[in-house]
Amino acid sequence: MKDGTVKVGRNDLCPCGSGLKYKKCCIGKSKPEPDDLTALYAKKYRIRLKQEADIQGIREAGRLVIDTLDLVEPEIRPGIRTDEINTLVHEYTIKHGAIPAPLNYRGFPKSVCVSVNEVICHGIPGERVLKDGDIVNVDITSILNRYYADASKTFFVGTPGSEARKIVQVAKKCLDLGMSMVKPGNTIGDIGWAIQTHAESKGCSVVREFVGHGVGFDFHEPPQIPHFGRKGEGIRLIPSMVFTIEPMINLGKKELVVLSDKWTTVTKDRSLSAQFEQTLVVTDDGCESLTPYET
C-alpha cells in the first residue's frame, strides 16, 4: 500500500506466523498473544513450546552432555574399543544424577551411539577397535531432572587422511549454517536448504531418513527438522521452540543401509559419513545453543 502499511486479507496467512488464515487467527487482535501461539502450535503441529524454567532445565542437561563429550574426547585414540566409550559415558552420566536416554530406548542396548567411518548413526558400542585415521561420532543424550538434551561430535582418531578431514569439515559447516538460519520468521525449510546447499556444493550428500527433532520433554518430539529442503517451506520458527539440528553428511551418495542388528546405519556405498548435533532454543532474535560448543 502507498502509505507503507500492508493490508492483510481475511483469507491471507496470518502475520503471526501460525500458518492459519488471518480470519481464523489474529483478526481483531492488536497483536498475536504468546498464549495463542502456544495453543496454536500445540494444536496444529503438536509442538510443545518451552517456558523459561524448562529451558533452564534443558540447559542444565545440555551442560552435562557437553561435559560428557569433553570427558570422552581425550580418550579417543587408536586401540580403544567403542564399548569403552560407552562405559565412560554411562558412568559419568549416572554419577551426575542423570540417565543416559539411549539405554533401552526402543530396544537400543547401550548408553550412547558410537558411529565409526561409514556408520552414519546409531552405532552400537561393542568390540570394534578404533584405528589411526578413523573418524568416530559420539552422540550423547542425557536426561537430567526429566529434561532431555542431545548433542554429538565427530572426532578424529589419531591422524586423519584427506577424506576424513573433508567430510568432518563439511559436516561441521553444515551444522553452523543450519544454526545461522534459526531465528523467528524463518522456516524449518530454510534450515534444510542452507545445509543441503553447502553439502552438495562440496560434492557431498545429505541423509534423508534421519532428521533433527524437537527435544526437551522427550527424546524425540515434533517437529521434524530435515537437513534438506527449500527456502521458505515448512513451519515458521517462533521463540521458545527447542529442537536439534544434526546433519548426517556422506562423502559419497546419500543412500543408506540398516544392518541386521536393526540399528547400525551405514552408507550404502560405504563412503565416510560425519555428523554434528546441537540442541537449540529459538530466541527473540536468533537462537541459543543449550549444548554449546565451538565448531
Under the binding rule (CB under 5 A), the answer on residue 291 touching Co ion is no
How far is Cα 196 from Cα 190, in angstroms, rounded to an integer? 10
Amino acid identity of residue 152, one-letter, is S
Q: Work out the end-to-end distance of the chain between its first and last CA atoms, rounded to an integer number of angstroms.
A: 45
How many angstroms separate the Cα of 34 from the Cα of each of 14, 87, 284?
Answer: 14, 44, 12
Amino acid identity of residue 179, one-letter, is M
Residues sharing a CB contact under 8 Å with residue 271, sequence separation 6 or more, in sequence order = 118, 250, 251, 252, 253
The closest alpha carbon to 116, from 106, 108, 125, 107, belongs to 125
Under the binding rule (CB under 6 A), the answer on residue 190 touching ligand MF3 is no
Segment near ligand MF3 (CB under 6 A), from 7-15, 100-108, 157-165, 190-198? 100-108
Element (H, E) at 244: strand 242-245
Closest contact distance (angstroms) between CB of 278 and Co ion is 9
Q: Cell 527438522, residue?
A: 225
Let me know: does 155 contact 233? Beta carbons within 8 Å: no
Let me know: does 240 contact 51? Beta carbons within 8 Å: yes
Let me know: does 238 contact 17? Beta carbons within 8 Å: yes
Segment near ligand MF3 (CB under 6 A), from 12-20, 38-46, 102-110, 159-167? 102-110
Under the binding rule (CB under 6 A), the answer on residue 66 touching ligand MF3 is no
Under the binding rule (CB under 6 A), the answer on residue 141 touching ligand MF3 is yes
Residues 201, 207, 211, 212, Cα dihedral to 10°:
-50
How far is Cα 79 from Cα 61, in angstroms, rounded to an integer? 30
Under the binding rule (CB under 6 A), the answer on residue 217 touching ligand MF3 is no
Give the residue, chosen from 57, 62, 102, 189, that forms a contact with ligand MF3 under the rule CB under 6 A: 102
Residue ranges in the chain assigned as alpha helix (H): 34-45, 52-72, 82-95, 162-180, 188-201
- Count of residues touching ligand MF3 (by CB under 6 A): 11
Segment near ligand MF3 (CB under 6 A), from 6-14, 41-49, 99-107, 282-290? 99-107
Encoded one letter per residue, x for contact with Co ion by CB under 5 A and - for no contact, window 216-245 reads ----------------------------x-
Our CB check for ligand MF3 shows the closer of 110 and 254 to be 110
| Residue 209 CA from chain centroid, whole number | 13
Our CB check for ligand MF3 shows the closer of 57 and 214 to be 214
According to CB under 6 A, which residues from 144 to 163 bind ligand MF3? 150
Segment near ligand MF3 (CB under 6 A), from 22-30, 105-113, 181-189, 264-272? 105-113
Give the residue, chosen from 192, 264, 277, 290, that forms a contact with ligand MF3 under the rule CB under 6 A: 277
Query: Which of ligand MF3, Co ion, none does residue 108 bind to, with CB < 5 to 8 Å depending on kind?
Result: ligand MF3
Residues written for the chain = 295
Closest contact distance (angstroms) between CB of 246 and Co ion is 5
Query: Which of Co ion, ligand MF3, none does residue 86 bind to, with CB < 5 to 8 Å depending on kind?
Result: none
Under the binding rule (CB under 5 A), the answer on residue 139 touching Co ion is yes
Binding site for Co ion (CB under 5 A): 139, 150, 244, 246, 277
Residues in contact with ligand MF3 by CB under 6 A are 102, 105-106, 108, 113, 122, 139, 141, 150, 246, 277
